[in-house]
Amino acid sequence: MRYQHAWKDVPPAEIPADGQANLEATIRKAVGAGINHIETARGYGSSEMQLGRILPEFPREDLIVQTKVSPREDPKEFLETFEKSLELLRLDYVDLFSLHGINNHDLLELSTRKAGCLEVAEQLRREGRVRHIGFSTHGSCAMITDAIGTGAFDYVNLHWYWVNDRNWPAVEAATRQDMGVFIISPNDKGGKLYEPPAKLAGLCAPLTPMEFNDLYCLLRPEVHTLSIGAARPEDFDIHLSAVGKFNDAAWLVPKIEARLRAELEQSLGVEWMARWEEGIPEWDRVPGEVNVWEILRLLNFARSLDMVDFAKMRYNLLGQADHWFPGKNAAEFSEAALGEVVAANPFSNEIPSRLREAHALLYEAPKKRLSESE
């Protein structure tokens, strides 16, 4: 999604030659390094069309190609959208096909109901145009676990990494179902690690923050694939370096993690770090739909590890990205109403002031999701 020309379909003639050359060089670098899982989506604008110019040059059995289509009310439209993907990719089949953005229970029901999108995907698998069916999600852990519990999917694309391990129970549920686990955006949503603050970089030494996060994830046998989000060939270099250090990861990663957690406790307090999440409801059960848990998480990392730019990037998506990043920021809330829903938290009296602090520190002009930014 980061190397294509446009976030919308454009005529092939509009693709700049240098942009296409960069995409093709990126794919060749990946395949040459042994990275054979190439992921895209119908919602990624010109990505599929541009990939279609390079993918047929490789032996088909050497690639794992994944595309994604968002659920539709009309299964016929869902099918037509998939067929457009296959046409643009210039492939006879995709190895992995995701129902894209099952982010809440309404979308899960839309996907799995009788004569719905999942049945279309299953028919495509019977026809040989799809090998495996999965889903991608930005949803809550409970929602993801419910989707996994249907037994309908072979794999899941979800968020889980060092700065946000809330979805680990969903990863464990996927493991029990023998599902593949693909981690979405560990470099960007996982901390904006391509531009780490000096404090974070120092605490992660001798690894870079990106290497640390790669190895933190890959040490878990439950995790199979990390998305790199490459925009140019050199974007693979740090990740290849991390893989080269895998033999040292079992002792090095816990040492760095302990150092980071010690800094969190030093900056924020041992008791706060041990118990700040207790009794915090999901955003849809908070008056005003304030995403309290997410705001406190972002404030924790901004205050302790100087991850202010990352926290700002995420905070200013609140209320701007529909079900992809739900809940609202802390611009407005009733302290009395909030107090009632967080009463079980041992820091309930502090939470309003922390939310105000977060808004003062992090609020800027509201952001759009990357796919809506052009």
Q: For 69, phi and psi rounded to 5 degrees?
A: -135, 130
pLDDT class of 112 with cuts at 50, 70, 90 = very high
Coil/strand/helix, residue 115: coil
| Percent of the chain whose pLDDT exceeds 70 | 97
Q: What's the pLDDT score for residue 318?
A: 93
Q: What is the mean pLDDT of the chain?
A: 94
Tokens of 125: 């698998």
Q: What is the pTM of this model?
A: 0.93
pLDDT of residue 35: 94
Distance separating alpha carbons of residues 198 and 201, to the nearest angstrom: 5
- Report pLDDT for 363: 96
| 71-139-184-134 Cα dihedral, nearest 10 degrees | -40
Number of other CB atoms surrounding residue 36 within 10 Å: 14
Helix (H) or strand (E) holding 65: strand 64-69
What amino acid occupies position 36? N
Note whether 159 and 189 are within 8 A (CB): yes
Pairs from 215-220 (Cβ < 8 Å, separation ≥ 24): 215/242, 215/245, 215/246, 215/249, 215/252, 215/253, 216/161, 216/162, 216/253, 216/257, 217/160, 217/161, 217/162, 217/183, 217/186, 218/242, 218/243, 218/246, 218/249, 219/249, 219/250, 219/253, 220/171
DSSP assignments along 174-197, one per residue: HHHTT-EEEE--TTTTTT-TTS--
**Over the stretch 121-161, which tens digit does the pLDDT of each residue have?**
999 999 999 999 999 999 999 999 999 999 999 999 999 99
| pLDDT above 90 as % of the chain | 89
Residue 147 to residue 107: CA distance in whole angstroms:
10
pLDDT tens per residue, range 249-304 = 999 999 999 999 999 999 999 999 999 999 999 999 999 999 999 999 999 999 99
